[in-house]
Amino acid sequence: MLLELLEKGFGNDIDLNCAEKMLYGANWAYDLKLAPEALKLAAGFGGGMGVESICGAITGGIMVLSHLYVKQRSHESTRIKELETEFIETFKNEMGCIDCKCLKEQYRNDEIKCSLVIFKAAEILDRIVARESAINE
């Protein structure tokens, strides 16, 4: 799904940031049918919102979960909070931190950039989406 798409280089040719790769890639992999205007919302979340705060791969993943599992608003149920908590905590447990600065120090280099971080976020998101899809069938 998303991980496989990203591992094949999706977004590299158009220089997408980490959040954009997650949202644009999920749009294609999960057939979200998001309009180009909606995809632009991810632009400001790359590089930890430009200040090396929460990783853009995480915020991009949260955007995907919101699109998939919120009908109108966050407060309509606790489901989105549960899913985003699972996504973030799993990522943190597997990668050691969730902030861009920390992740870049551990995993980024000029050759692969932040690919390992983005792949991990995509892997976790794929697991959650696959499980939730199976539950809803």
Q: What is the pLDDT of residues 46-79, one digit of tens each?
A: 999 999 999 999 999 999 999 999 999 999 999 9
Asked if 125 and 133 touch (Cβ cutoff 8 Å), the reply is no
Q: Return the pLDDT at 136.
A: 78
Helix (H/G/I), strand (E/B), else coil: 99? strand
Among 60, 52, 43, 45, which residue's Cα sits nearest to residue 103? 52
pLDDT tens digit sequence for 71-128: 999 999 999 999 999 999 999 999 999 999 999 999 999 999 999 999 999 999 999 9
Burial class (CB in 10 A: 0-12, 13-18, 19+), 96: exposed
Give residue 134's Cα distance to chain centre. Answer: 20
Specify the 3-state DSSP secondary structure of 54: strand
What is the torsion angle, in degrees rounded to the nearest 10, for the CA atoms of residue 74, residue 135, residue 87 and residue 42? -60
The number of residues in the chain equals 137
